[in-house]
Structure 1
Amino acid sequence: MPETIIITGASDGIGAAAARALSASEHTVVIVGRSPEKTARVADALGAQHFVADFSKLSEVRRLAEELRERYPRIDVLANNAGGIFGDRTLTEDGHELTLQVNHLAPFLLTHLLMDRLILSKTRIINTSSVANLSGNIDINDLDLATRFSPGRAYSNAKLDNILFTSELARRFGAEGITTAAFHPGVVASNFASESTSPLRVIYRSLLRNTLISSEKGADTLVWLATTAPGRDWTSGNYYIKRKPGRTNRQADDAGLASALWERSMALVE
């Protein structure tokens, strides 16, 4: 049965690849991206509807949520896929470290603003994380990394935030029909890290790029989570790599930290 699937960060990379795969299955795929030109190009090729939002501005996340609520009475899948690794420590106009906001606070806010609609739809919420979560070390009192900042540390922490957000979503809303999973797409040949000053940009701009997997392969687990049954094919609240449960940072199992992150995130986006 065709479903309505919203994918953020879908103007390029695994988001665009997932949109192509899911559109081929006759689902209604909604493309969300930052670049008006790239987002429209992907959507037009698929005959899909699209929306533009820059997650470095929470005002645009709020506008996006309003537009999605107006357009879609039912949302079967919300794929929070937008994210990235950046350069020197930068604060957004909202006063948050850029990596934290784009990778965690913006999708947290979008999900929160859509939650009543998601509950009615018994939505599957899919969060793009990374194996980089293993290097994370979250201090709930310094999510913005005012001390000991590095691009890699900010990204690792944000990807661990994604996993904690996933587990807390399952705990808070599982009884209301919400199911959710996080996943690692693999090291994908895309424009990821193009704005970064971290060592990762060397991989993505060098001959080593030839060893990376395609966006289509990177999107495989996202597509699998979007099209299979939680409770039968996968377990809500878990983290997956190549369709199998993945190893996570020890902090990922800290229910108290997950709850504290939720409350702190809510305070930061109010």
Structure 2
Amino acid sequence: MNLVITGSTSGIGLETVKALYPLFDKLILPVRNLEKAKKLVSQFDHPEKFDCLKMDLSSMESVHQAGKHIADSYDQIDLLINNAGGMFPKGKKTKEGLDWSFAVNHLGHFHLSQLLLQNLIRAKGKLVFVSSEFHRMGSVKLHDLGLHTSSSSWKNYSDAKLYNILTSNQFHSMYSEKGLASYSLHPGAVNTSFGSESDPLSKIFITITKPFFISPQKGAETSIFLAKSNKDELQSGGYYDKKKLKSPSSKAKDAALQDKLYDFSLQQLEEILS
């Protein structure tokens, strides 16, 4: 079986890799820091099980190249975990003109999932989006789906985490009949490097509250649960918290918003990559 996971070199991503390493024949790690990844996998008993390749989620061109390479190299992908994410200063733009939070937390993963879609369907695989309970603070502004005018780092992050659930639900709606199962989850407030690239006020708040955060091992438990569980024990299109099915916000269940976000995301990719 083949696993693809983003954000694999630290935090809950790394703990997820450690837990799933014995279960998969190949662990494919698209990473921003290739040297860090290679050093990390060399510490495993069978580093040959890993395939590390460079991918920057803030660049749709980079995601396109990495995703195409994975799709061409592996006929089947049994599990894709869209795990990477972060909080970034409001107004920060990528080289392609995207809001940084929109690109890293949503569009990059959306594009990777699209590129690996047929590989996932051939495997009747699973697609997992690591979202957050912060999605309840999020909204979908139809005049600004790209998050260019958000008022704060927290708002952009919350909106993007809402996008994760909407996207998971959209993939479920469109492809569950073809055997693909899609899930979203809340990992908990995890003591990682989260927020290290955010604005100064957010960094202060995160630092103050970190004593109350859970460990990365604990934060990875729901991702691992979804990976290990049989599909007939799970609900495709479901949102999970603490390894249990949970109802997300009403906005996250809005099918019309799913469609609008999906169409907008495709349009953004077409404009960037054409």
Fold in common (TM above 0.5): yes
Shift of 1:44: 2.1
* AA at the equivalent of 1:33: V
Indicate if the aligned counterparts of 2:85 and 2:104 stay in contact, CA closer than 8 A.
Answer: yes
Q: Which runs of structure 1 show a deviation greater than 4 angstroms over 4 or more consecutive aligned residues?
A: none
Shift of 1:72: 1.5
Q: How far apart, CA to CA, are the structure 2 residues paired with 1:84 and 1:41? A: 23
Q: How far apart, CA to CA, are the structure 2 residues paired with 1:24 and 1:198? A: 40
Q: How far apart, CA to CA, are the structure 1 residues paired with 2:148 and 2:261? A: 17
Q: How far apart, CA to CA, are the structure 2 residues paired with 1:211 and 1:20? A: 24
Secondary structure in structure 2 of the residue aligned to 1:29 = strand
* Deviations 1:116-154 (CA, angstroms, capped at 9, x unpaired): 222111120000000000000111220223334311110
- 1:40 is aligned to 38
* AA at the equivalent of 2:61: S
Shift of 1:209: 2.4
Q: How far apart, CA to CA, are the structure 1 residues paired with 2:206 and 2:149? A: 28
Secondary structure in structure 2 of the residue aligned to 1:162 = helix
- 2:194 is aligned to 192
Q: How far apart, CA to CA, are the structure 1 residues paired with 2:108 and 2:24? A: 28
Computed over aligned residues only, the root mean square deviation of the Cα atoms, in angstroms, reads: 1.6
User: In structure 2, which of residues 125, 128, 140 is the aligned counterpart of residue 126 of structure 1?
Assistant: 128
Q: How far apart, CA to CA, are the structure 2 residues paired with 1:254 and 1:94? A: 29
TM-aligned CA distance change 1:205 to 1:191, over 3 Å = same
Secondary structure in structure 2 of the residue aligned to 1:182 = strand
Indicate if the aligned counterparts of 2:135 and 2:158 stay in contact, CA closer than 8 A.
Answer: yes
Kindly tell me the number of residue pairs found equivalent between the two proteins. 266
Q: How far apart, CA to CA, are the structure 1 residues paired with 2:161 and 2:129? A: 9
Q: How far apart, CA to CA, are the structure 1 residues paired with 2:23 and 2:203? A: 34
* Deviations 1:67-121 (CA, angstroms, capped at 9, x unpaired): 2123222110000111111113122122211101111101111111121222111
Shift of 1:203: 4.6
Between 1:34-43 and 1:148-157, the stretch displaced more is 34-43
- 2:260 is aligned to 260
* AA at the equivalent of 1:211: F
- 1:227 is aligned to 228
- 1:73 is aligned to 75
- 1:211 is aligned to 212
* AA at the equivalent of 1:137: S
Q: How far apart, CA to CA, are the structure 1 residues paired with 2:68 and 2:42? A: 22
Indicate if the aligned counterparts of 1:61 and 1:109 stay in contact, CA closer than 8 A.
Answer: yes
- 2:64 is aligned to 62
Secondary structure in structure 1 of the residue aligned to 2:116 = helix
> Which sections of structure 2, spanning at least 5 residues, go unmatched?
none
Identity %: 31
User: TM-score normalised to the size of structure 1?
Assistant: 0.93
